Amino acid sequence: MYIVDSHCDSIQQVDIRRHGIVNPYNYSQKHQQLQFVAAFCSWPGDDAEKCFRRAVRYIGHFKLRMEIEKDKVEQVYTYADIERAFGAGKHAALLTIEGGTGIVGSAQVFRDFYAAGVRVFGMTWLCNDLCASTRRDNGEDDYGLTDLGREIIEVGNELGMIFDVSHMSDRSFWETAPLVKKPIIATHSNFRALCGHPRNLTDDMTREIIRQGGMIGLNFYPKFICDDPAESDIAALLRHLEYCLSLGGENNIGFGGDVDGTSGKYPKGLDETSSIHDRIIEYMLSHNYSEELVRKVAGENYLNFLKKYL
C-alpha cells in the first residue's frame, strides 16, 4: 500500500520549530508516502513582497531538508521520480504553493517557482490580486478571477501546472474550471452538504471535479468536518468520504490532511503522537471498509491521477 497526502504545511514548522520534513506523525511509519508540501505564499495583512520573501525562504528550507533527509525522502518533479523514490525505499515530497500573493503579480516569478519544482498551485488563500474573493466567510462579495489570475492560468497551462481550488470562492472555482488544461484538484477540501463551511465543496463543484477526472483530498481539520468542531472524530471524517462516494467519486478521493496547518487540532482519535495516516487506515480496515477502497483512498487514486498529469 502507498499513501499520498495532497496538502501539509510542514515547511512552516521547519521554519518555526526547526524540525524535519519527515516526522513520525505526518509520514507513515508502515508505508511509503508521497506528501504534497505547501510553501505558504500569503498572509493576512502582508504585502506581496513580504509574501514573496516568505515563499522563497520556505522553498529554501524545503530544498535544504531534502538534502539533509535524503536517506528518507526525495523531492519529486514527475511521476517517474515518484516511482524512483519508492523503488529506492524512500518517501517522496512534491512542492506546492498555497496562496499566490507571493508571485508579486509576475508571470516570471510564477515560472521561477515552477523551475524550483512547484507543480501544484493554489492561487488564493485569502483574496489577492489573482482571485479577488475567498471562501473564508459567508456573505462576502465574490468577484471571481482577476485578469492577472486568468493570465496565470494561461501561463500555468503552458508550463503544465496543476491548479488547486481548495481556497477559491465559488465564482473563482467556476471561472477556473473551464480554463485549465489539466483537471482541477481540491487538495484539502470536504463537502458543504455535511459541514457548511464556505471553503468546503458544493455538490456541483464535486461533480465538476469528478467529471474532469480531478482529485479531492479529505481535510482533517475539525472546522471542515462538522459544523460543531467538537463533534469531529474519525467516523465524522469518513462520512465525508462516504458522501463523495455517493456522488460517484470513488476514484477521485484521497487524503489532503492539512497536517501542520491545523494548529494541532485534529478529529478525536488523531493527534501528533504517531502517524495520523496509519491510524486512519487502521480505523478503516477495522470498520468494514474494503481493502480495495482503502488502497484507493490511501494513495492509489492520487497515484493514478499523477501518472497521467504530473
Give the per-residue pLDDT at 140. Answer: 67
Give the per-residue pLDDT at 137. Answer: 59
Which ranges of the chain have pLDDT less than 70? 133-140
Give the per-residue pLDDT at 19. Answer: 85
Supply the pTM of this predicted model. 0.95
Residues contacting 45, CB < 8 A, separation 6+: none
For residue 192, how many C-alpha atoms fall within 13 Å in the half-sphere facing its CB? 15
Give the per-residue pLDDT at 21. Answer: 94
Closest C-alpha to 30, from 276, 293, 310, 287: 276
Give the per-residue pLDDT at 218. Answer: 98
Give the per-residue pLDDT at 134. Answer: 61
Give the per-residue pLDDT at 44. Answer: 78
Instruction: Break the chain into its structural domains and give their ranges.
Output: 2-309
Give the per-residue pLDDT at 17. Answer: 80
Options 3.20.20.140, 3.90.1150.10, 3.40.50.300, 3.20.10.10; CATH of 2-309: 3.20.20.140
